[in-house]
Copies of this chain bind each other. A is one copy, B any other.
Amino acid sequence: MARAATTADAFNAVAEPRRRQILDVLRGGERPVGDLVVETGLAQPQVSKHLRVLREVGVVRVREDGRRRLYRVDARGLKPIHDWVAGYEDLWTERFDALDDVLDDLERDEGADGHAE
């Protein structure tokens, strides 16, 4: 089977760098599609499609303004992600780093097995 549908949840929606790019622009406040096209350098149809995905998972909202559509972030849609990573916060906030260093040594003998293929 192929990958899970992009529109499934916020995790997938945000996995796309361009969508994060769009969201980062929208952090500055409500913007029409045209602005997003200019600021991201993407083609207009692609921006619209990405916005659709973001809308379907609930991380952005639209508002009609004449012939323009003003998009804005709805951070509530990002909360699932926030909550999920928050569950791992203590694993780096606390003193697990000391243990990490020890384990790094043991792991060291794996040679070129690391994370950079």
Contact = CB atoms under 8 A, between A and B. Distances in A.
Nearest to A54: B115
| Stoichiometry (number of copies) | 2
SS class of chain A's interface: helix, strand, loop or mixed? Answer: helix
A49 interface: no
B56 A117 contact: yes
Given A11-B14, A14-B11, A117-B56, A75 B89 contact: yes
Q: Kindly state the interface size class of chain A when it binds its partner.
A: 35 or more
Interface of A: 3-4, 6-7, 11-12, 14-17, 20, 23-24, 27, 55-58, 61-64, 72-76, 78-79, 81-82, 84-89, 91-92, 96, 100, 103-104, 106-107, 109-110, 113-117
